[in-house]
């Protein structure tokens, strides 16, 4: 039986990452859905970058940025007494960047069109913006939220390259399931590799299955 601590760590990383992404992603996706700024395509391209960049590129830049010699990494070391690289927090930052498009794109799509129209109608009836956001936009975009949350979660579960570059393979801190599987394969320990892979496959399948099941029941935009 393989050590399951790496699996718990993976689940924790995916949960924390998804939560952080939801907090950052919602306002940003909202802004993108309604802005006419000429910087919008630049921002959109930046957000989509992790879809096409090799994780090694992202990992390499993160390694440089997190170094105590770099401004950001140095500031972090001063403030917390610990380096960002080789830490759980460092992995969360890496995963947030890595899964960014998976949160933003479904949310942005959900917020566009009918939702904006409904918001304008609400504004003409003098509803406050916050009020109508939570009573109109959020319920109308349930499907977008579910897709964004689940995809971000599932994508972080499968993260490997970035963690390999900045993690340092420390048990209970940065040794996530994908790294443990890789090490098991490289050391010809196929039994544990099989067991962990199968568990990860089942979790990933069930997660994705839930989205598609949910999406079948809800149309792209819920009409109120």
Residues near other proteins (CB under 8 A) are 63-64, 66-70, 73, 82-83, 85-86, 164-166, 168-170, 182-183, 186-187
At 214, which helix (H) or strand (E)? helix 190-217
Q: What does the alpha-carbon distance between residue 4 and residue 36 come to, in Å, rounded to a whole number?
A: 48
Tokens of 92: 């969360």
Question: Which CB atom, from 83 or from 135, has the smaller least distance to other proteins?
Answer: 83
Question: Which CB atom, from 2 or from 144, has the smaller least distance to other proteins?
Answer: 2
Report the candidate in 145, 149, 157, 114 with the shortest Cα–Cα distance to residue 13: 157
Question: Which CB atom, from 34 or from 83, has the smaller least distance to other proteins?
Answer: 83
Min separation Cβ 201 and other proteins, Å: 23
Min separation Cβ 118 and other proteins, Å: 49
Min separation Cβ 196 and other proteins, Å: 15
Are 31 and 202 in contact by the 8 Å Cβ rule? The answer is: no
Question: Which CB atom, from 25 or from 90, has the smaller least distance to other proteins?
Answer: 90
> Helices (DSSP H) in 69-189: which residue ranges?
71-80, 88-111, 114-124, 129-132, 138-140, 142-157, 161-166, 177-186
Min separation Cβ 132 and other proteins, Å: 47
């Amino acid at each position: 039986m393989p050590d399951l601590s790496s699996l718990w760590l993976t689940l924790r990383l995916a949960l924390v990452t998804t939560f952080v992404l939801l907090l950052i992603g919602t306002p940003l996706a909202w802004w993108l859905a309604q802005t006419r700024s000429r910087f919008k395509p630049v921002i959109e391209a930046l957000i989509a970058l992790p879809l096409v960049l090799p994780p090694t590129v992202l990992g390499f830049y993160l390694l440089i940025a997190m170094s105590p010699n770099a401004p950001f990494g140095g500031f972090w070391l001063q403030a917390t007494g610990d380096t960002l690289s080789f830490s759980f927090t460092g992995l969360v930052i890496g995963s947030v960047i890595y899964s960014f498009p998976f949160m933003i794109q479904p949310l942005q799509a959900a917020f566009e069109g009918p939702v904006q129209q409904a918001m304008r109608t609400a504004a003409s009836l003098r509803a406050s913006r916050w009020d109508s956001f939570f009573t109109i936009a959020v319920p109308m975009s349930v499907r977008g939220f579910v897709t964004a949350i689940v995809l971000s979660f599932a994508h972080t579960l499968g993260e490997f390259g970035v963690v390999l570059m900045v993690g340092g393979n420390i048990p209970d801190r940065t040794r996530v399931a994908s790294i443990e599987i890789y090490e098991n394969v490289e050391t010809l320990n196929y039994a544990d590799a099989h067991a962990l892979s199968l568990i990860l496959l089942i979790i990933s399948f069930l997660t994705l299955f839930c989205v598609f099941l949910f999406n079948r029941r809800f149309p792209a935009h819920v009409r109120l």
